[in-house]
Structure formats: structure tokens, C-alpha cells
Structure 1
Amino acid sequence: MSIVKDFLLQLTLTVIPIFIYSTFITEKVKSEKNKHVIMTILWGISIILCMSFPVSFGQNARLELRIIPLLLGSLYGGFWPSIFLAGLILLYRLNFGISVGFYNTVLVLLISLPFILFFQKSFKKAKKDKRVKIAVGLSVYYCLIGLTVFGMLRGFTFEHLKVQMIHLIFAVVFTWSFTLLIEKIREIHQLRLEMQDSEKLRVISELTSVFAHEIRNPMQVTRGFLQLLDEPNLAQKKKEYIQLSIEELDRANEIINDFLSFGKPTIHNEIRVDVGNQLHRVVNLIHSYALGYNVEIKTDIYENGWIYANPQKLNQSLINILKNAIESMPTGGMVWISCVSNEDGYIKISIKDQGIGMNQEQIDRLGSPFYSLKESGTGLGMMVSFQIISSFKGKIQVKSEKGVGTEFIILLPQIA
């Protein structure tokens, strides 16, 4: 019973590399070469642990499950990892002194390692089921070689044979289990990569279809007006048609800009920015646009509220949100803009309107790609705004009530 317990301890020591690899290495390390190096080191640690806590029996006889990390490291790693692991076994075994056990280790490695390396290429090309069979077959071969060499050097006794058979059973069962486990981890990882690629293709396809649809509309309108310009007796209408064509082309250009901003990676060229100063600039820029909608803007802006941000990107996000507030009041109204420093270490920007408002479902979907409450909107502008604020480690909160209005609260981390 004590021998079985010792072998179970060996099992625990052998599981450690697989656990560490599946938890920390598989997803985070991208280079296959680096993965092989890390895995070889982990198998080496497992070998040292197994040899440090051996199953002792008879006259200074000892057994370990070092076959498992050696075998799996060789099959999955290749030639150089197998040489490294075998050399590690010999060096560490030499630490216990030159004895019959050391000669036993040398002979077993010399006989079995070339055989393992011979099957390594077949193992690498094989499918999962065949890999399991190759690994199990090689573990049986290694254990039988070990049993034979042990008997030749020490002699065959029933007690020694019993322990060797227990060792063989544990080695075979654990090799089978661990190979299946590793193959399952590799399969799950591959499926996850395929799903990510599939999701990327789906998003690209959806983006392309929406983009094409949104661009086609102003282009078709412009084409229609240009055709009308060719008609005789339309001198008084030409100016109007030209103006409408220009507006549609401007709208197409705006859609393209939103699309490019959505896909463009954020560049972290952030500097110290006074939020109050940027808000004043945005209000000045948007003032004439607000007058066109009969909207009045009132401000209460806290000065010297500093954050780290890209000022152009910050302005872009504020303009997008402010434009939405203005456009939500087709018959005119009031927009309140405030900026204060709160006790949580954030600069709080509030943009509140008297527009049509939103229900909870609309609020939850706000900021999602392609979702817009405007007939001519793509939803990309608001998506970009959320993306920009998030890149500054800030957050956006939305409060709204149908028929009453909407308040956007932007929280940005304040600096001294």
C-alpha cells in the first residue's frame, strides 16, 4: 500500500507541468519555439521532483515515473528537448553516486531513447488516437527495458517483479491519461483560435455590408441630382440640386471617417490635458451647429481639471456626444454642459439634453456597432466615442427617460 501511495505522489509531481502549461502558457505565449522551451523546462522540473521523491524498495532499489515527462517531452518537443531531458536524468542520478542504479539508468536510456526518437516524427504527423497508441506503446517498451536491465543487474525476485509490474501499470495508465489530456488541451486551443478567426471574418463581413449600404445611399442620391442637372429649363433648381449633392457627398465622407476611426488602433500619444479648456473649444466649435437646430447651450465648467488624454481624440468623442444631444431635439431646446471634480478622483463631465430620450433597452445597446437611433446614422460615431473614453481609462454612464431627455456622464481619471 505504501508503494501505491508513493506512485500517487509521483503522479502529482508529473501533473504540475501540464497544469502550468494549460493555465499560463497556452494562451499567453504565441511563439511555438518559446512554448517548446518553456515546456521542456517544466518537464525537466517534473523529472527532478520525481527523482527527488522515489519509490524505494529492496536493497537500495528505487523507481520513479520519470518516464512520463521524458517520454512526453521527447514526443512533443523533438530531438533536442529529449537530449536535454535525458542528460538531466543522468546528471541528477549521478548526484546520488555511481552505483548499480546509475548503470541501470544509463543502459535503459541508451536502449530506449533512440527508439523513442525514431517514433517521434511518426507521432508528430499522427492524429490524436494514433498518438495515444504510440505514447502508450513506448511507455510499455521503456518499462520492459527497465525491468529487464534491472533483473540482469540485480537478479529477479518476486518482490522486485511485483514493484516493477506496479510501476509498469502506473506508467502506462498515466501516459495514456496525460497524452489524452494534452491532446484535448491542444484541441480546445485550436478550436478557440478557429472561433476567433471566424468571429473576425464575421465582423469584417458585417462591417463591409453595412459600410457598403451606408455609402450607397448618398451616392445614389447624388447621382440622381446630377442626372436632373442635365435636364433643360432647370436653371432655378440647379443651385439647390448642387447644394444637396454636396451635402450627400459630405455625408458619405463622414461615414467613411467614422468607419476608419472605428477600425483604427488607438495611438497612446497622451499628454496632460485641461478638460475645461477642451470643453470650451468643443462648445465654440459646435455653437453654430446648435443654432441651426434652435438649441441653446449652457455651461458650468470647472477649470484646471487635468487628465492624461489625446486632445484630438477627446474632442472627437465630446463632439459626437454633443451632436447627438443637439440632434435629439428637432424642435429646439436646451443642452447643459457641466464639468466638476468629484471625490472619487475623477473629472465628471455631464452633457444633458431635453430630447426624445431612450428606454432601458436602447440605453443598453448604445455604443454597440451599427446601432443608431437616427435614420441616417451608422452607430459607428457613438461606438468610437465609447472606445476613446475607454482608452483614457474612463467610463460613460447614460441616464435617460422617454420624452424627458438624456444625460451622458463621462468620468475621466484626474491627475495632479
Structure 2
Amino acid sequence: MNIIKDFLLQLMLMIVPIFIYFTFISEKVKGYKKQNIIMTVLWGISILFCMSFPVSLGENARLDLRIIPLLLMSLYGGIWSSLFLSALIIVYRLYFGISIGFYNTVLVLLLSLPVIWFFQKYFIRSEKQKRVRIAVGLSLFYCIVGFIVFNILRGFTLENGIVQIIQLIMGGLVTWFFIVLYETIFEINQIRKELQNAEKVRVISELTSVFAHEIRNPMQVTRGFLELLNEPDLPKEKKEYIQISIEELDRANEIISDFLAFGKPTTDINERIEVGNQLQRVVKIIQSYGMNHNVEIKTEIPGESWIYANSQRLHQSLINILKNAIESMPNGGIVLITYTSTNNGYIRISIKDEGVGMTKEQIDRLGYPYYSLKETGTGLGMMVSFQIIQSFKGKIEVISEKDKGTEFIILLPQIY
């Protein structure tokens, strides 16, 4: 009975940080770095309690699940969080005295952490099912390393072997449970945010559709009179003022069009589209825009691949993303466009630039109303792009590093 009680206590000590994160931190604490620091501290406390109240399997046989908080924070939080928690484990283990157990802890961490860090970047980019497999695999690897090191240092005994096998099984099962739990709660949170965002956009779209006609009419009249006033014999300064006024009216008109495009339901007919041809058409159109910004557009287009989409709307989405990529490089650079087929039935279109890059906070806000990284932007173009790709049952992923560049990954279901 005590074994079950101790094991349930270990589980509770790991559930609490997840509960605190999704209940209080994810919504109320702004900024990825602040959230990461708080979670590192919470997981650190969890590790200390796990080590303080291990599961007792006999007189000299104890195990704890410190690997779970360490692994979760290493995979989701990165190397620095992992280093902090590893140092915490070593220091706290040192508090109990220098013994074979202490050397075992240090050696297992030294052998396991480089492997965990290596797979961390693949974990972040992977989908839910693959994340679960990576995490469980790393947990089993850690336990196996611990089993080997323990037996080298202390010698193999049947009792110790049983304890290590139990830890191996429990480590894998508990890792699977917590990764699935974390990913499921995260998905629910994302759906809730998307629903809230969709409601905001719906209200904006309805208001825009009501007022668009009334706003556009006086705008067109104003633009017409400005063109009439723009006579050849006007002073240069006044001609510049008129031209600026016309350009601003056109920009306002484009904003209204973006609102209407985002708000109206999709009624376009989808058809079979060859991805390579679509990308080549888009590149031809945007090429001159890139040259004006000293940006070279390179493509790597393999054999034929087909998707089911609306050519005009996909074209609009790709143009928006490419324009953003070009404008993110004020000093020029290269935009690389590639596509490949994935193992899970998607076409993966990659648009990679060498621009200013984005922080994680900026990436998380992409596609939301009124959020733009450009001084005169409204964020509507990116909102429309996200909506278009989602209407084709696809999704957009963004990988970016500040001052190094951004990669937009568009995943669309492949047809044969």
C-alpha cells in the first residue's frame, strides 16, 4: 500500500506544475522567457520533492521519477533550463553525501543530456504523435543508461535488477502519460484561443461589410477629384502631396478589401493543382518586387505533386507570405522556395528568408487581428493567408530566429 501511496505522490508532484502553467501562467504571464523561467522553477521544485519522497521498494531499494520533470523541461524549455535542472539535481544529491549514488547521478546525466539536447530540436518541430515517441524513447534511453552505470558501479544483483526494470517500465509509461496530457491540454487551449479570435474577427467582418460600401463611395469621389486637381502645371510640392493622398486612399481601400476577404465565407470551387506549376507562377509575379528590394528568389522544385485547392486563393496566400519574406530583408538577401512530400501524406512547402527574424512571442501572435511587424501594416494579409491554408485542411508552421531569418512551412494534404 505504501508503494502505491508513494507512487501517487510522485505523480501529483508532476501534475501540479502542468496545472499551474495552463491555469495561471500561459494566460497571465506575457513573454516566452518569463514563462520559461517560471516553469523551470516549478519543475525544479517538483524534482526536489520527487528526490525527497522516493518510492520505497525495500530496505535499500528506492526509485523516483525525477527524469520526467527534467525531460519535459529539456524538451519544451531548451538547453539552459535543462542545465539548470541538472545542476539542481547534482547539488541536491550532493546534499545527501558523496557516495556511489552521487557518482551514478552525475555519470547518467553526463551521458544522457547530450542525446536529449540533440533530439530537442526535432521534438519541437514534430507533431503530437512523433513528440510522444521521441519523449518515451529518450525516457527509456535515460533509464537504460542508468541501469548500465548502476550495475557497473555497484555490481549486478537480482534485487537491483528488478528495481531498475520497474523504473524502466514506469519511466516509459509515466513519460507517455505526461506528454499526452500536456499536448492534449495545449491543443484544447489553442482551440479555445482560436474560437475567441474567430469571434472577434466575425464581429469585425460584419461591421466592415456593413460600412464598407458607405466608406468606399466618398473615398472614390475624393480620389477622383484629387486626380482632376493633379494638373501638369502644378508646383512639384503640391503634386507630391496629391500623390501621397491618392496612395493613402488606395491603401485604405486595400485594408477594407482585406477585411472583406477575411470575413466572407469561402464559396470557391477547389480543384486538382500541381504544386510546382503554382509555385513557378507565383515566383514569376513576385520576381520584380524582389529585385526592387535587392532580393533574389531561388526555387528547388522536384517532380509533380498534386493537392486539392483553389488556385486563386492559394496564389493569394503565397504572394502574401513571399511579400513578407522580401520585406523582412531591408539589406537584400535570398528567399529559398522548396517543396517535398512528407511521410504522413502532406506536401511541405518551405519559404525561407534571411531577414530580421522573429521572437517566439511574435511567432505566436502571427495571424491574429491587428498584429503586424510592419510600421504601416494591419496584419490582415497574414490573417487571410492563415485562413486560406486552413480552408484547404492545411496548416502553417513558422520557424524563426532573431536576426537570422524565418521559415514558413505550409502543409497541405497530398492527393494522388
Give TM-score, length-normalised by structure 1: 0.50
- In our comparison, the structure showing a higher alpha carbon Rg is 1
Give TM-score, length-normalised by structure 2: 0.50
